[in-house]
Amino acid sequence: MSRFVLLLGPITLMACQSDASIVANSPRDVADNQQDPADTEQTPPGDETSAQEEGWTLSHAMADLDPTGVPATLDEIELPFDMYEISVEPAEFVMGLSPDDVDYDASHVPHLVELTHTWALTETEITYEQFIHYMGYDPSDLWGNPTDPSNCEDCPVAYVSWSEAQAFGNAMSIAHGLEPCFECTGEDADVACEPISDPYECSGFRLPTEAEWEHAGQGGDDFTYPGSDDIDAVAYWDENSGDHAYPVASKLPNGFGLYDMGGNARERVYDAFYPYSGEDLVDPVVYSAYTGDLYAERGGSWACRSPEIRWNRRNLVWDYVRDSHTGFRVARILD
């Protein structure tokens, strides 16, 4: 099977439908069998020190770091603010949609994918609290946000570009002694990142590839949505969200123990957005071919209709850098 795919073609995907303005102080809707995080012991924000407060910047830390490139196990890295990683085993699966599926189009051609590594994905979408800890700034100070971060630090961070998400992965890698996967220039919202290694060979944190995301989104189950056939049990979407995001892990997880793989925030992935070729692939990734390329997004958001909440349905991508619907989570190779 081949390694990479890059194919142009027509794209006809459904958009998220919302004209919602920013909503502050969103209510928390915890599933009946989920423990409310307010009832669990949490580390006070004042007990944590951000990377910026510790006196280093990304450029300085990268100059001082001599990473081995050896992946770290889950037990070797202690993450802050209730961040956890879920280990995912190598797998072979069919990516895309069947031609007789109601949501099928030319960008969803089914094909066999093999992922050859054991890898990890963060259990939840990255939150405002986590983003600020590693990056030293709050995107809502620049762009606003679909919730109020002063009252919802554990909501998924939004208004973050693809490069900001990859820079966040670099910041995590540097903070935990792993190999950065990107070379980034500029600061904060003006950062621009380029890959410096194959995502499947780099030991550091990064966005998941689209193939990794789809396999993780399915979660080893055969449900319509990530974790259930009942969309309301696992996702905040257009018809139950009240037009805003909610704290992560407020709904049920999927079969891998991953929360919000459908709804709450759309999620950025590593790959540029092109239709699938239909060719069988091993450890696939689609690199950006030119500056104006758009990147794929998955999982749907609080403003999306039900088709985009499906784990095997790609989301419409837009020609702007950031928006209130889109966040991310990070992955890394473990072997």
What are the pLDDT digits (tens) for 82-129? 899 999 999 999 999 999 999 999 999 999 999 999 999 999 999 999
Give the pLDDT score at 38.
35
Q: Which two tokens stand for residue 124?
A: 């939840």
Which range has the worst mean pLDDT, 14-28, 162-176, 284-298? Answer: 14-28
What's this model's pTM, rounded to 2 decimal places?
0.82
Find the domain containing 176 and state its range.
44-333
Give CA–CA dist 206/200, Å, rounded.
10
Segment 306-319 shows an average pLDDT of: 91
pLDDT of residue 182: 98
On the question of pLDDT at 256 being above 50, the answer is yes
Q: What per-residue confidence (pLDDT) applies to 304?
A: 96
| pLDDT score recorded for residue 99 | 96
In a domain, 35, yes or no: no
Determine, yes or no, domain membership for 31.
Answer: no
Residue 10 lies in a domain: no
| 247 in a structural domain | yes
Strand partners, 260: none
Check whether 310 has a pLDDT greater than 60: yes
pLDDT the model gives residue 234 = 98
pLDDT of residue 318: 75
* Percent of all residues in the chain with a pLDDT value above 90, rounded to a whole number: 68
Range in 82-91, 140-149, 163-172 the model is least confident about: 140-149
Whether residue 9 has pLDDT greater than 80: no
Mean pLDDT over 205-233 rounds to 98
Residues 6+ apart with CB under 8 A from 319: 294
Among 26-40, 49-63, 115-129, 290-304, name the most confident range. Answer: 115-129
Domain count, the chain: 1
SS3 277: coil
Most confident of 28-32, 213-217, 314-318, 322-326: 213-217
Q: What is the pLDDT of residue 319?
A: 75
Going from the C-alpha of 79 to that of each of 49, 83, 123, 335, the distances in angstroms are: 12, 6, 12, 19
Q: What's the mean pLDDT in 6-22? A: 42
Span 202-231, average pLDDT: 98
Which one is predicted more confidently, 35 or 25? 35
Residue 125 in any domain: the answer is yes
Quick check: 36 pLDDT over 50? no
Query: Worst-scoring range by mean pLDDT, 11-15, 107-111, 143-147?
Result: 11-15
DSSP 106-135: GGG--EEEEE-S-EEEESSPPBHHHHHHHH
Q: Does 11 reside within a domain? A: no
Close Cβ partners of 17 (under 8 Å, ≥ 6 residues apart): 238, 303, 304, 305
Q: What confidence score (pLDDT) does residue 12 get?
A: 36
Going by C-beta distance under 8 Å and a sequence separation of 6 or more, which residues neighbour residue 331?
Answer: 119, 120, 121, 122, 205, 206, 207, 208, 209, 212
Which of the two residues, 27 and 169, has the higher pLDDT score?
169
**Residue 41, pLDDT above cutoff 50:** no
CATH number for position 134: 3.90.1580.10
Q: Determine, yes or no, domain membership for 263.
A: yes
Q: How confident is the model at residue 2 (pLDDT cuts 50, 70, 90)?
A: low
Assign 160 a pLDDT band (cuts: 50, 70, 90).
Answer: very high
- For the cut 90, the answer to whether the pLDDT of residue 312 exceeds it is yes
Distance CA 318, CA 308 (A): 14
Domain assignment present for residue 91? The answer is yes
Check residue 66 and give its pLDDT: 44
